[in-house]
């Protein structure tokens, strides 16, 4: 069944899209954002460009997928003397960053990426770069369990995630259909209620948590600041091998989503038909067609007049 025409994007959406596209228009070497990498991932740059060329859609944030090693933030606040001694968060620690503690999952309060890659990783250099100390397994396990302020180190793989602002629920629905068809089964939409100006511009998240995985690989001591391994180097290489497999499946799903979006939105712009079977066209296309038809009729009339004026009459 042909895709019905989308409603015209509201002015507020068009203004937001114009601002976003203005920021994306800067050269890649100069563009920065709030992600750990600071730029748009090259693996989905073409996909983002294709989405943003379509009327009624604009990307607001993106990640092509990544493998990372993350150090949790502080679980307890630093003491007011500034010497790094652990203290309970509610015991009157100093204000500012020293008094902050990490939330569930370890984000904030000094949490940081020790390693990040948005591409497949080969070799062992990344393992050596972590510089995790290896000691007696039993002693390490005991310290991990008993040390109050220890910070855990996580190995993570996260698949592609896209946030796309849409101009209407109809736009959002088609986008979600493409995402689900491609295997991004945890995709969803928010902001589907009408705004103050009666417009509705849902935000769609394209994502698949089924490819994600996470494993604890070490910890940082709150007493010494040293970082210790909880697993062997061979176990780390095994985790990276799994991440490579997930990268491959992630790439397949990205391409499926790209194809589904193109067939449902980009290509359908040329294939839509009206209720009487004629090809659907927007106002601009209709004006251009009528202008060209008018020019052709004018040329035809001029040709007919010329034939009449130069013709021979045989009485």
Query: Within 10 A of 216 (CB to CB), how many other CB atoms are there?
Result: 13
Q: Quick check: is 76 in a domain?
A: yes
Query: Taking residues 207-233, what's their average pLDDT?
Result: 92
CATH number of the domain at 193, please: 3.30.1960.10
Provide the domain limits for residue 113.
11-86+97-271
Does the predicted model carry a pTM greater than 0.75?
no
Q: What was the pLDDT predicted at 143?
A: 61
Q: What was the pLDDT predicted at 67?
A: 97
Q: What was the pLDDT predicted at 36?
A: 53
Q: Quick check: is 281 in a domain?
A: no
Q: What was the pLDDT predicted at 158?
A: 97
pLDDT tens sequence across 173-219: 999 999 999 999 999 999 887 776 678 999 999 999 999 999 999 99
Please compute Rg for the chain using Cα positions.
29
Rounded to the nearest 5 degrees, what angle is found at the Cα of 263, between the Cα atoms of 261 and 266?
75
Total domain count, the chain: 1
Q: Quick check: is 2 in a domain?
A: no
Q: Quick check: is 42 in a domain?
A: yes
Q: Quick check: is 91 in a domain?
A: no
pLDDT tens sequence across 72-124: 987 665 544 444 443 333 333 334 455 565 455 555 557 899 999 999 999 98
Q: Quick check: is 124 in a domain?
A: yes
Q: What was the pLDDT predicted at 300?
A: 77
pLDDT tens sequence across 148-175: 778 999 999 999 999 999 999 999 999 9
Please give the full DSSP string across 15-80, using - where no structure is assigned. Answer: HHHHHHHHHHTS-TTT---SSSS-S--GGGHHHHHHHHHSTTEEEEEEEEEEEEEEE---SSEEPT
Q: Quick check: is 163 in a domain?
A: yes
């Amino acid at each position: 069944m042909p895709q019905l025409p989308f409603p015209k994007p509201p002015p507020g959406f068009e203004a937001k899209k114009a601002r976003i596209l203005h920021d994306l228009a800067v050269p890649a070497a100069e563009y920065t954002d709030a992600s750990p990498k600071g730029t748009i991932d090259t693996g989905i740059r073409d996909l983002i460009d294709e989405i943003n060329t379509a009327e009624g859609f604009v990307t607001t944030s993106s990640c092509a997928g990544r493998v990372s090693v993350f150090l949790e933030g502080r679980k307890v606040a630093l003491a007011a003397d500034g010497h790094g001694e652990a203290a309970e968060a509610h015991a009157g620690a100093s204000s500012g960053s020293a008094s902050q503690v990490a939330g569930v999952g370890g984000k904030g309060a000094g949490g940081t990426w020790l390693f990040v890659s948005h591409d497949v990783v080969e070799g062992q250099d990344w393992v050596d770069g972590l510089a995790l100390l290896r000691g007696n397994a039993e002693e390490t396990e005991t310290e991990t369990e008993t040390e109050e302020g220890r910070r855990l180190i996580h190995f993570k793989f996260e698949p592609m995630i896209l946030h796309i602002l849409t101009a209407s629920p109809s736009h959002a629905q088609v986008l979600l259909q493409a995402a689900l068809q491609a295997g991004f089964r945890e995709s969803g939409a928010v902001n589907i209620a009408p705004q103050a100006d009666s417009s509705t511009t849902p935000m769609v998240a394209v994502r698949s948590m089924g490819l994600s995985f996470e494993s604890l690989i070490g910890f940082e001591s709150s007493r010494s600041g040293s970082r210790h391994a909880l697993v062997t180097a061979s176990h780390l290489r095994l985790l990276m091998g799994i991440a490579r497999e997930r990268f491959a499946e992630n790439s397949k799903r990205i391409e499926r989503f790209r194809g589904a979006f193109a067939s449902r939105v980009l290509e359908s712009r040329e294939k839509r038909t009206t209720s009487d079977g004629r090809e659907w066209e927007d106002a601009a296309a209709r004006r251009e067609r009528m202008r060209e038809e008018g020019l052709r009729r004018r040329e035809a009339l001029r040709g007919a007049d010329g034939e009449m004026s130069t013709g021979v009459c045989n009485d």
